[in-house]
A and B are shown apart, each in its own frame.
Chain A
């Protein structure tokens, strides 16, 4: 029979002793767990680097899939910054009744200026308008055949809010003023532009989702192949008492590495393309007299890009593990 000494009953030992042992055990387990995470992370990376060509193909596909929507996003945010500048120029001109005294015009301007929906309002008297008109055309009123000033006084209102419903509300208020003869509002194009941007934004979002699914599938398939090639190993370690989490861990890290490398490669690609487009775009925009502000990915955007890449890759890895680990039970 066994030569081992039988276990002494634990109840006879002091309680604190066994509690200590439990704590030591828990600490040991935690450090073993951390050790395995560290080992899996480094071994998965080594595995990935050992077959550089095939792994590069995977993370390049990830990078390209992420580059497209990111570039669209960059273009869109540049465009939005540009249109915000244009919208600043969005103003409403109020033509006042002929012969309205300047004092009334001033008062009305001050009233409008005080309104919260108005960024600023300024008064252009009939004389000022007439002077500036003549200066613009470099002629005098006699040459035009006018003896009197034909122009009305006007108030230029720059709205504080540029979204279309608030603009319409402001417009209604202004039209209701008795001193106002006519309102000229050239804001319809801003509305159209905003709707166009919304449309593009939806297209970019849809594209990003679609390409996100592509990344999911690519990583899922790569992890599936990795599981497939290590099926025998998985069977062996399961028989040696490996838990489900232990078996999954190296593949989860493989997913993280693909995501990280893909994300970084995407960042490099995006930056390269933005740099490449910078000078032709500047030249193009300059012909319209526009300031070119090609944006680069900022710190937050970069972080979001890389985290999104890791997140999607992890999801791909999880799907593959869910579906294919079942086939690797010991036989």
Chain B
């Protein structure tokens, strides 16, 4: 599903954020990406979401070779990804419902389907009764769950999360991770960047570890779903 082959990313000025990374994540897998800050976790995710372009090597996501993706193809490629951010990136002037509906509206879904699917996604994260609220009226954990609902509402093939529990206390973090596991159980490929090593260890999934832009090891440490 996600295949890095000798992928490097050099920024202008010569800083090499990723060097010769080879990482293969199969369909239906759930993988954690760890490493200290500045190790290249964010860069790796930005390459997958095609915010950044690899300097060398080949990156294949969901069957598409990203270096060959034309500018006009990027939006359609991104519609197959669900992305969860650390700061959830919700639109604060819109309701929870509108935030979650956004990917469906962008994809031009019919309003009837939008309502049904938004409710289903909100139900999944346990926030159905909050649909008319604005994100600002919710707690940090609830906001993150809205972000997750938005990421999964289109049932994407791949779910990416960048430090999804970065701002949450341990109890809430466990809930969020459990949510990701649930999506993985129904077949979604999940990649989560996190530095919460304690939490990751308990969850027993495969861990890829980055250090100074290099992939240290991708031993199979956990179960495969």
Contacts and interface: CB of A to CB of B under 8 A. Distances in A.
B108 A35 contact: yes
A33 interface: yes
A4 B28 CA distance: 10
A330 interface: yes
A84 interface: no
Q: Chain A contact residues: over half helix, strand or loop, or mixed?
A: helix
Nearest to A240: B103
Contacts of A3: 186-187
B49 A330 contact: yes
Given A4-B187, A330-B49, A331-B51, A240 B78 contact: yes
A2 B28 contact: yes
A29 B108 CA distance: 7
A20 interface: no
Contact of A239 (B78, B187, B225): B78
B49 A239 contact: yes
B91 interface: yes
A233 interface: yes
B107 to A, nearest CB: 7
B79 interface: yes
A242 B106 contact: yes
Contacts of A203: none
A28 interface: yes
B116 interface: no
Given A3-B186, A4-B187, A33-B108, A241 B78 contact: yes
A14 B81 CA distance: 31
Contact of B76 (A2, A31, A233, A241): A241
Q: Interface size class for chain A?
A: 20 to 34
User: What range describes how many residues of B lie at the interface?
Assistant: 20 to 34
Given A1-B225, A2-B27, A2-B187, A241 B51 contact: no
B51 A240 contact: no
B66 to A, nearest CB: 15
A1 B78 contact: no
Contact of B28 (A1, A232, A236, A329): A1
Interface string B60-97: 00000000000010011111010100000101000000
A241 B75 contact: yes
B110 interface: yes
Contacts of A296: none
Interface string A21-45: 0000000110111011000000000
Contact of A237 (B26, B77, B106): B106
Given A3-B186, A241-B103, A236 B89 contact: yes
Contacts of B110: 28, 31-32
A278 interface: no
Interface in A229-285: 232-233, 235-244, 246
Contacts of A246: 75, 106
Contact of B79 (A33, A241, A329, A330): A241
B75 to A, nearest CB: 4
Nearest to B103: A240
A28 B108 contact: yes
Interface of A: 1-4, 28-29, 31-33, 35-36, 232-233, 235-244, 246, 329-331
